[in-house]
């Protein structure tokens, strides 16, 4: 069910790096393109690019856009139950920001020649992926803080290098998104810190329980280990990804382990220890079976999340139809006015 419909090449072709070159002109253009990228150059929408570069970007950017939109659901679940007006206003703004991120990203992907409708259809039919993390439930208010701290924290770690992605429209969208994600991470940390330092024992226990449930899925967000990541090598060569999945995961764990101390929560990994020689935190084995199970559609909330998106699109169909009918009427009126003039 969860395969990327937008990928043109088979995995075997990619693995063998057998790119179908159609003509000598294409081969020359491809060599010039590779040299431009190797030189640190950027690519714009109207520039020539190899098909596989275009498809890789559509795959990654559309998957990213879907993640932002599906990612509105777990926290959106708590807007009507936020504990104070202040927290409600912050959460509303955050969820709205995620919707905005999805729109910038769909727009960036559209510059590559794939329509919004095609991308949404791929999501709704189960062909396109979105981040595994959004298939977990938000059981208590502390989950909202834990998502801000850990999920947005992991998202920023992964997304800051994307501000230097070789594809200009994606890189520019990421600059704005990262500014907003940074606010999101801080509000999550602040919400948890308030409960830990000024809350009741029950609230502190609620925070610890949320951290226990979100820690491992958050570190899975960075994707499979480098030696099991089929897309990494080519994406790094093309400057789409700048830092590998494992390196980003390690950077996130290093930063978060220190923040957990400040917060006064335990991270649920008995093997998490500072390694002086490496200058990094060591951590325990990640349950990759759980990760693939969720990616392949069998996580706790996969069905619910997709059903919510499909229902929202169906319920909103009349708005899109009305807007199109209005635009058509307006265009006809303007054409009549021009003819009469």
Residues in touch with ligand FAQ (CB under 6 A): 3-4, 59-60, 63-64, 67-68, 71, 98, 129, 131-132, 147, 151-152, 155, 158-159, 220-224, 229-232, 235, 241, 245, 295
Q: Which residues of 37-59 are buried (b: 16+ CB within 10 A; e: fewer)?
A: beeeebbeeeeebbebbbbbbbb
Q: How far apart are CA 68 and CA 264, in angstroms?
A: 29
Backbone angles phi, psi at 299, to 5 degrees: -75, 175
User: Which residue, 71 or 169, has its beta carbon nearer to ligand FAQ?
Assistant: 71
CB of 26 to ligand FAQ, least distance (A): 24
State both tokens at 314: 């169906």
User: Which residue, 26 or 51, has its beta carbon nearer to ligand FAQ?
Assistant: 51
CB of 269 to ligand FAQ, least distance (A): 18
CB of 64 to ligand FAQ, least distance (A): 3
Q: Residue with the closest Cβ to ligand FAQ? A: 71
CB of 140 to ligand FAQ, least distance (A): 17
| Residues linked to residue 274 through DSSP beta bridges, in sequence order | 281
- Give the Å distances, CA to CA, from 261 to 206, 265, 267, 275: 17, 6, 9, 16
User: Which residue, 112 or 295, has its beta carbon nearer to ligand FAQ?
Assistant: 295
User: Which residue, 111 or 235, has its beta carbon nearer to ligand FAQ?
Assistant: 235
User: Which residue, 222 or 252, has its beta carbon nearer to ligand FAQ?
Assistant: 222
CB of 103 to ligand FAQ, least distance (A): 13
């Amino acid at each position: 069910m969860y395969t990327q419909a937008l990928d043109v090449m088979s995995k075997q072709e990619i693995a063998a790096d057998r790119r179908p070159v159609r003509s000598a002109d294409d081969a020359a253009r491809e060599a010039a393109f590779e040299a431009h990228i190797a030189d640190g150059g950027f690519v714009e929408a109207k520039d020539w690019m190899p098909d596989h570069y275009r498809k890789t970007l559509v795959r990654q950017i559309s998957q990213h856009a879907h993640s932002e939109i599906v990612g509105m659901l777990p926290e959106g679940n708590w807007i009507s139950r936020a504990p104070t007006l202040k927290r409600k206003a912050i959460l509303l703004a955050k969820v709205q920001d995620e919707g905005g991120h999805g729109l910038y990203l769909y727009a960036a992907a559209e510059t590559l020649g794939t329509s919004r409708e095609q991308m949404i259809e791929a999501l709704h039919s189960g062909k396109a992926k979105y981040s595994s993390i959004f298939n977990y439930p938000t059981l208590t208010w502390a989950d909202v803080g834990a998502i801000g701290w850990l999920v947005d924290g992991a998202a920023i770690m992964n997304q800051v290098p994307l501000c230097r992605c070789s594809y200009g429209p994606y890189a520019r969208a990421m600059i704005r998104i990262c500014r907003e994600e940074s606010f999101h991470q801080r509000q999550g940390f602040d919400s948890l810190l308030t409960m830990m330092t000024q809350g009741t024992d029950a609230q502190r226990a609620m925070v610890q329980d949320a951290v226990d449930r979100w820690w491992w899925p958050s570190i899975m967000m960075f994707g499979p280990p480098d030696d099991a990541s089929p897309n990494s090598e080519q994406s790094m060569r093309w400057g789409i990804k700048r830092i590998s999945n494992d390196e980003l995961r390690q950077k996130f764990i290093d930063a978060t382990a220190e923040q957990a101390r400040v917060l006064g929560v335990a991270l649920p990994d008995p093997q998490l220890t500072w390694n002086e020689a490496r200058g990094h935190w060591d951590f325990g084995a990640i349950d990759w079976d759980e990760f693939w199970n969720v990616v392949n559609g069998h996580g706790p909330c996969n069905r619910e999340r997709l059903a919510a998106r499909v229902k929202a699109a169906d319920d909103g169909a009349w708005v899109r139809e009305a807007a199109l009918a209005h635009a058509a009427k307006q265009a006809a009126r303007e054409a009549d006015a021009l003819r009469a003039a």
